[in-house]
Amino acid sequence: MQTRTLGNSELDVSALGLGCMGMSSGYGPPADKQQMIALIRAAIERGVTFFDTAEVYGPFANEELVGEALAPFRDQVVIATKFGFDIDPKTGARSGDADSRPEHIKAVAEAALKRLGIDVIDLFYQHRVDPAVPIEEVAGAIKDLIKAGKVKHFGLSEAGAQTIRRAHAVQSVTAVQSEYSLWWRQPEVEILPTLEELGIGFVPFSPLGAGFLTGKIDTNTRFDKSDFRNVVPRFAPEAMQANMALVDLVRSVATRKGATPAQIALGWLLAQKPWIVPIPGTTKLHRLEENLGALNIELTADDLKEIDDAASKLSLQGARLPESALAMTGR
């Protein structure tokens, strides 16, 4: 397994991680727990060392799943989880609001350590920026947790460039996690240059466009009623029809390279910067193996230019998230 270092942190992880959210929430009913434990362990067998979860996935169920699956392999893996939402610790009920008050961050850290069954959180992300709490106070709370030996590394998710700078000035940020793929390239404008300047790693979530770039989704696809894609504008039938042009582009490159569209989409991401570590999620072993196959795909400078030139001519339709979710990003 190839490895990558997240920025200047010396945090080495597998070049592809595993996003675990979809095992418990987001894409329909939770998958069978024992099957997901087996899948996570299959990922370890294949060299994956970087696993991503959050308290809000479930809520709580995903951390418990990941903790149980990784318990026998704790010294071989890096576990990332997240704080930052107002969630009732007893019922798991969510208000939908952000909550990054320092006392709340510390309480979430203690609860996450118990759910994961670990002594220290390897990478602790603020899930969304809380406009009510100065980012300096958030970074200060993480600094306290690092001093206490309960957290190793600080991360931010979907934060804006100035927020990243302000946080990093108080406590070094190891990684920023945001959506990034051929389907959503906005991070290239400000975020990637900022991270390169500051020596911070980048962890793209939804590197396959929530499944769209696999080529397995079209206007006839019907999602489970609890699948978040039902309310994502880019998955509305009219938008999807227009956006199929991007899938066709990726598929044409895949055919020439003897690869799958998913492998080309991941390979493109991996080729952007050596400190980018995508975290595709799946609940299926054959998809896990397909995704890991992206590490064997070599995209030449000519390939990348061809993809960029063709993609620049496309006009993608629809927002990447519902309006309420977009309001919590890029702060």
| pLDDT of 198 strictly over 90 | yes
Mean pLDDT of all residues belonging to the chain:
97
Confidence of residue 5 (pLDDT cuts 50, 70, 90): very high
- % of the chain with per-residue pLDDT over 90: 99
In this predicted model, what pLDDT tens digit does every residue of 37-96 receive, in sequence order? 999 999 999 999 999 999 999 999 999 999 999 999 999 999 999 999 999 999 999 998
HSE-up (13 A, CA, CB side) for residue 80: 30
In this predicted model, what pLDDT tens digit does every residue of 107-138 receive, in sequence order? 999 999 999 999 999 999 999 999 999 999 99
pLDDT at 16: 98
pLDDT at 240: 95
Q: Is 92 left (phi over 0), alpha (psi -120 to 50) or beta?
A: left
pLDDT at 96: 87
List the structure tokens of 289.
């193996």
Exposed (0-12), middle (13-18) or buried (19+): which is 329, by Cβ within 10 Å? middle
Q: What pTM value is reported for the model?
A: 0.98
List the structure tokens of 324.
């309420």
In this predicted model, what pLDDT tens digit does every residue of 302-321 receive, in sequence order? 999 999 999 999 999 999 99
- % of the chain with per-residue pLDDT over 70: 100
| pLDDT of 141 strictly over 90 | yes
Torsion of CA 67, 72, 77, 83, to 10 degrees: 10
Question: What residues are labeled active site?
Answer: 57
pLDDT at 122: 98
Q: Give, for 175, the enclosing helix (H) or strand (E).
A: strand 173-179
Region 260-278 average pLDDT: 98
pLDDT at 264: 98
Q: What span, in angstroms and rounded, lies between the C-alpha atoms of 85 and 321?
A: 18
In this predicted model, what pLDDT tens digit does every residue of 229-244 receive, in sequence order? 999 999 999 999 999 9
pLDDT at 285: 98
Three-state DSSP class for residue 324: helix
Ordered domains of the chain (ranges, CATH): 3-326 (3.20.20.100)
Q: Is the dihedral of CA 252, 254, 260, 264 positive or negative?
A: negative
Q: What span, in angstroms and rounded, lies between the C-alpha atoms of 264 and 246?
A: 12
The answer to whether the bond into 59 is cis (omega within 30° of 0) is: yes
Q: Are 157 and 188 in contact (CB under 8 A)?
A: no
The Cα-based distances of 109 to 19, 106, 146, 274, 297 in angstroms read 20, 5, 11, 30, 38
Region 22-41 average pLDDT: 97
The Cα-based distances of 162 to 100, 194, 265, 272, 331 in angstroms read 18, 9, 29, 22, 8
